[in-house]
Structure 1
Amino acid sequence: MGTVFSFDVRDRPTTAVREALDEAVGWLHHVDAVFSTYRRDSEISRIARGDITVSDCPPEVAEVLALCEAAAAATDGWFTHTPGGRLDPSGLVKGWATERASQILYDAGARNTCVNGGGDLQLRGEAAPGTPWRVGIAHPLRPGRILTVVTGRDLAVATSGTAERGHHILDPHTGLPAMGPASVTVTGRHLTHVDAYATALFAMGPAAARAWTRAHGGYQTLVVTSADDVWQSEHFPAADDKWRARGGT
């Protein structure tokens, strides 16, 4: 998927967990083979060319496309899997694949894990007994600095912005690069949704992102504008000892 995945397992490394790690890695390679828009032989590329239909594909293709439709509806079309008129569900696939990899580990008995898909995380359980996970959020305008630290248990965290890849998110209504805020971080329970919503809220822009968050209580948001103004929703899970609204150390 053009990015790096990592697994942090805090449980005892049983044989079942080790086998689940192998299965999770195999799953991610399978997802890449099916959904990559860069591989001509992937099912998604073949659908886009009209060579096959969804009914000819593994069942997860229909599942992902249905999830994309639901995300589009939940964001009034600001999330799309047809940017510029071409089929590309990448805005949802990475989060969905990461969450599924996390579930594979959980089903094998690993209760305290962090699966990181290109900087977007599905967290389960705790980092240590009685200690929540702590996730540093990079400042999008100040390279090498941490804006805040998110803490929590059984949490998903996703960030969309321009710091790493420039203006790569398209405005679905114009087909042009979205000139949104510097970054949007969204937290919730499931990375499948959190990752897609972070992309949509970035495309919306700061004001609409704030309004959307207030209307969807299951998600919390941190927005950094291109002018370095910072807004966080009321229950955004930032650690008080690290929070620096103006980009502390």
Structure 2
Amino acid sequence: MGTAISLDLADDLPAATLHELAERTFDWMREVDARFSTYRDDSEVCRLGRGELPLAEASGDLRAVLERCADLWTSTDGFFDAYATGRLDPSGYVKGWAAQVASDRLAAAGAPNHCVNAGGDVRVRGRTAAGEPWRIGVRHPWDPSATCLVLTGTDLAVATSGVYERGHHVVDPRRGAPATGLRSVTVVGPDLGEADAYATAAVAMGEPGITWLDRLPAPWQHAVVTDDARLLHSRTLPTTP
């Protein structure tokens, strides 16, 4: 899906077990790519979008994702829209969802200490191999070699939507034009798919997205960098120096 996946397994398990868990995780991500990538003409998403695949014949995963996207459209006042670009593209939810599923499977398989990173959408559980909480850097939106925040925790889903690589590419579905006002939005909470969608929706809202994020109930938290370089974040955001 045009992004890189990395995995850190921190449990003291036999090397063969760690290798098998890693292979299962990457096999799952390849399956997601084959099914949901908008870069592959033969993916389920592309075939469904072109009308070549009836929804009733789509996989259970695709139907479940589309149902969740519909729910998120409602809960974000229409700003998370899988059709915002004029064609079916649920990528703003799928990347985080896929990493969340991978993390859930690792925990169920006896590897509760890990970090799954899907192109900057990060799900951490437990602790590092050194026994420390995980540290997640949020990229500085003007300096790719620096961070603007570092988050710390043992059970965090961290999703960031930004315009620093592809410009203002997130579409405001109400205007049908690229949204402006927010350079970067990071959402932290218990579920990475939902965090990914919330971050995308807030960028699509522009500056009003800041007020919308402020209204999200606990345990959701956020950090925002505006186009004019203001950094705003929840008071309880788990930051570290």
Normalising by the smaller structure, the TM-score range is over 0.9
Aligned twin of 1:35: 36
Aligned twin of 1:7: 7
Higher strand share: 2
Deviation of 1:189 after TM superposition, in Å, equals 1.1
Deviation of 1:129 after TM superposition, in Å, equals 6.3
Deviation of 1:78 after TM superposition, in Å, equals 0.8
Aligned twin of 1:180: 181
Contact 2:222–2:233 (CA under 8 A) maintained in structure 1: yes
Deviation of 1:20 after TM superposition, in Å, equals 2.1
Measure, in 2, the Cα distance between the counterparts of 1:206 and 1:123. Answer: 29
Q: Deviations over 1:181-209 (max 9, x none)?
A: 11111100110111111111111123332
Aligned twin of 1:160: 161
Cα gap change, 1:119 to 1:212, in 2 (>3 Å): closer
Contact 1:213–1:219 (CA under 8 A) maintained in structure 2: no
Measure, in 2, the Cα distance between the counterparts of 1:206 and 1:231. Answer: 11
Aligned twin of 2:54: 53
Aligned twin of 1:44: 45
Deviation of 1:74 after TM superposition, in Å, equals 1.4
Q: Deviations over 1:148-188 (max 9, x none)?
A: 11011110111111112211211111221111311111100
Contact 1:184–1:223 (CA under 8 A) maintained in structure 2: yes
Q: Deviations over 1:55-101 (max 9, x none)?
A: 11211011100111111111111101111331111111111111111
Measure, in 2, the Cα distance between the counterparts of 1:35 and 1:137. Answer: 26
Question: Runs of 5+ in structure 1 lacking a partner?
Answer: 243-249
Cα gap change, 1:208 to 1:2, in 2 (>3 Å): closer
Contact 1:152–1:237 (CA under 8 A) maintained in structure 2: yes
Question: Quick one: which amino acid aligns to residue 118 of structure 1?
Answer: G
Measure, in 2, the Cα distance between the counterparts of 1:99 and 1:235. Answer: 23
Cα gap change, 1:64 to 1:12, in 2 (>3 Å): same
Contact 1:83–1:172 (CA under 8 A) maintained in structure 2: yes
Instruction: Compute the TM-score of the two structures, normalised by the length of structure 1.
Output: 0.91
Question: Quick one: which amino acid aligns to residue 82 of structure 2?
Answer: H
Aligned twin of 2:152: 151
Question: Runs of 5+ in structure 2 lacking a partner?
Answer: none
Contact 1:126–1:133 (CA under 8 A) maintained in structure 2: yes
Deviation of 1:222 after TM superposition, in Å, equals 0.6
Deviation of 1:12 after TM superposition, in Å, equals 1.7
What is the correspondence of 1:73-92 to structure 2 with a 5 Å cutoff? Answer: 73-92=74-93
Q: How many residues align?
A: 240
- Secondary structure, in 3 states, of the residue corresponding to 2:77? coil
What is the correspondence of 1:176-215 to structure 2 with a 5 Å cutoff? Answer: 176-215=177-216
Question: Quick one: which amino acid aligns to residue 8 of structure 2?
Answer: D
- Secondary structure, in 3 states, of the residue corresponding to 1:11? coil
- After alignment, is 54-63 or 214-223 more displaced? 214-223
Measure, in 2, the Cα distance between the counterparts of 1:170 and 1:60. Answer: 25
Instruction: Compute the TM-score of the two structures, normalised by the length of structure 2.
Output: 0.94
Cα gap change, 1:140 to 1:11, in 2 (>3 Å): same
